[in-house]
Amino acid sequence: MPNAQNPAYIEFRIGDYEHEFGIIDRKYAPGQMQAGPGGAIVLWQVDDIAAAFERLIAAGATEYDPITKRGETGFVTASVIDPFGNVLGIMSNPHYSQILSRMTAGNPVP
């Protein structure tokens, strides 16, 4: 929205419940917001963090935080700044992957 040449808002619908993930152009941010990236970084689980990171860069994002191993549990994160100025985080989280495997096998987490 409003059109492909000048997008202001991009929306993704995710999963069986169609959870909404929206990215909005920074020009619609509240007036008291400071310029530049900041705030909370929401991390999106991806299957291949290196491939996802490279795809984001190829699509016009710039590196904000490089691919970084967080401790010894296999948790890995990275983030980029999208063309609108938003920080987008990605992660590879073994715990999330285990939960997802149980759920897709029909064994909900107790």
Q: Domains of the chain (ranges plus CATH)?
A: 39-104 (3.10.180.10)
Q: Please report the pLDDT score of residue 54 as a whole number.
A: 98
Mean pLDDT by 10 residues, the chain (110 residues): 69 68 70 67 88 97 92 86 88 78 67
* 64, 80 contact by CB (below 8 A): yes
Instruction: Report the Cα–Cα distance between both ends of the chain, in Å, rounded.
Output: 41
- pTM above threshold 0.75: no
Q: What CA–CA distance (Å, rounded) separates 79 from 3?
A: 26
Q: What's the token pair of residue 76? A: 């890995």
Which residues are paired to 9 by β-bridges? 24
Q: What CA–CA distance (Å, rounded) separates 76 from 10?
A: 26
